[in-house]
Structure 1
Amino acid sequence: MILRTIAILAALTLATSGNAFAAAAQDVAALADKVQKQYQALTSFSADFVQVLDNAASKEKDTRSGRLVFAQPALIRWETEKPEKELLVVGKDAVWNAFPEEKAAYRYSVEEVLGSKTMLRFLSGKGNLREDFHVEQEKDAPEGQAKLRLVPREAEPSLVLAYAWVDLKTNMLSRIAIEDFYGNINDVSLNNVKMNPAVSREQFQYTPPKDYGIFDNTGVPAKPKP
């Protein structure tokens, strides 16, 4: 259930001649390092997102939109508004994925979510582009952006290939597209990105309403709310 909200990966391609390849490799490495340093230096950021989930088997596309908020250390609030409400909260002690229309909430461990190669892992600064991926640069990037092709050094079923678009002014991601083993694609575009906004820590705490069904996938009882 949670994978339909958070899975993602990326990569890029280089020139083939000797000197050109060396120069391009240096440029790509430098860009990857800038992106990495930017995310690790952030105290917080927020953005509007549009997410397109492309099902390879059915050929159907599911488009969602909402708001994303991040704060150090690895706190994330991913709130889908359309076409139906969904809330994903990565807190200090647990991850909650809630579906108001179903009156259901799913609980996961933070290690389970951020330990795998997902979009959330990268956005939280837990991932590392050059350590986790073979990084190359694509040529078909929009003006003012760089497009990277990311091939994981250790592939997982949820992530076998990814593309990342980088805003060259801010060194922040503007779009990420991830492909899984089955050919499904999770494509997320970020707009209205704000760096280091004031963020309330209460946004990263969640307690399911009493009438919700709770499905615990951690094996550890939830702590009672003070």
Structure 2
Amino acid sequence: MTSSFLLALPVALALAASGPAPAAAEPGGAAAARTLEDPRALARKVQAFYERTRDLEARFRQAYTYAGFGRRQTSSGTLRVKKPGMMRWDYEKPAAKTVAVKGSRLVQYEPEENQAYVDEAFDSSAMSAAVTFLLGKGDLLREFDVSLDGSGALLLRPKESDPRVESIALTVAADGQVTATRVVDGAGNANEIRFEDVRRNVGLPDAAFEVKLPRDVRRIAAPKAQ
């Protein structure tokens, strides 16, 4: 399995996870004004926004910085989310790639390489709350210690040690919508995503989360545990 293929899944699912892009600016210095807001109240606002969201689609721009190599990779594409338990990332740049979760099925497909990884028994409960809040799952206040950083972003640190997530910074709009994320893992890698052209509750069909693979696609085995 290529190194890029191995990296793609955690990048996508840790919000990443699985991207540095600047935080989305808010008019009138709204983010700065929130430096005095109670971070617990802000976390509850985020939670409530996504609990009220049945489905969502957005453009995303992602920048992933590899701490050990001093290298930065940028990507862009489309995100779709639908309850219960459906999520799909379609990368367009720098290369086409799809990562989709639908219930217990996870598919990662690279059309240019004609290769795919498929897990028919994917345990979505193992995904970090850095992702599952988009599905209205998890509990930010139960899983994270919360504070605000200097820009007014909601800063989350796991209450239990997790090598996937050292910290998460969420840029939050006035209504509780997350407009940008920054996830730093235990190795110091930073993954930043900005969401644009967000549309909520548009009635996405379940079929939008199906990934049809070519009959001759090369199946990639899961990496073996070390």
Is TM > 0.5 for Structure 1 vs Structure 2? Answer: yes
TM-score range for the pair, normalised by the shorter chain length: 0.7 to 0.9
Give aligned-pair identity as a percent: 26
Name 2:87's counterpart in structure 1.
76
- Residue correspondence of structure 1 range 102-113 to structure 2 within 5 A: 102-108=113-119, 109-111=121-123, 113=124
Residue 176 of structure 1 is matched in structure 2 by: 181
Deviations 1:162-205 (A, max 9, x none): 1111011x311101111111111111110111111121211112
Residue 139 (structure 2) pairs with residue 128 (structure 1): yes
**Is 1:59 aligned to 2:70, yes or no?**
yes
What are the equivalent positions in structure 2 for 1:99-178 lying under 5 Å apart? 99-108=110-119, 109-111=121-123, 113-117=124-128, 119-141=130-152, 147-168=153-174, 170-178=175-183
Letter in 2 for 1:5: A
The one-letter code sitting in structure 1 at the alignment partner of 2:189 is N
Which entry has the higher C-alpha Rg, 1 or 2? Answer: 1
For 2:96 and 2:125, the matched residues in 1 are separated by 23
Counterpart of 1:133, as a letter, is: F
Give unpaired runs (5+ residues) of structure 2.
Answer: 1-5, 17-34
Aligned equivalents of 1:49, 1:119: Cα separation in 2: 16
Match of 2:101 among 90, 97, 107: 90
Distance apart, 1:79 and its partner CA: 0.5
Q: How many residues align?
A: 197
- Whole-angstrom distance in 2 between the partners of 1:77 and 1:33: 25
Could you tell me how far apart the structure 1 residues matched to 2:129 and 2:141 are? 15
CA contact (8 A) 1:6 1:118 kept: no
CA distance in 1, matches of 2:122, 2:212: 16
| Matching residue of 2:19 | none
* 8 A Cα contact 2:14 2:127, kept in partner: no
Q: Tell me how far apart the structure 2 counterparts of residues 172 and 107 of structure 1 sit (CA, whole Å).
A: 31
The residue aligned with 1:45 is 56
Look up the match of 1:209.
214
Distance in 1 between residues matched to 2:43 and 2:171, nearest whole Å? 11
Letter in 2 for 1:46: E
What do the CA deviations read for 1:48-68 (whole angstroms, capped 9, x no partner)? 000101000111110000001
**Deviation digits for residues 98-126 of structure 1 (CA, Å, limit 9, x no counterpart):** 11111111123431x44131643232222
SS at match of 2:160: coil
* Partner Cα distance (2:143, 2:128) in 1: 8
Distance 1:118 1:53, change over 3 A: farther
SS in structure 2 opposite 1:110?
A: coil
The corresponding residue for 1:12 is: none
Distance apart, 1:91 and its partner CA = 0.6
Distance in 2 (CA, whole Å) between partners of 1:85 and 1:71 is 22
Indicate if the aligned counterparts of 1:8 and 1:162 stay in contact, CA closer than 8 A. Answer: no
SS in 2 for 1:66: strand
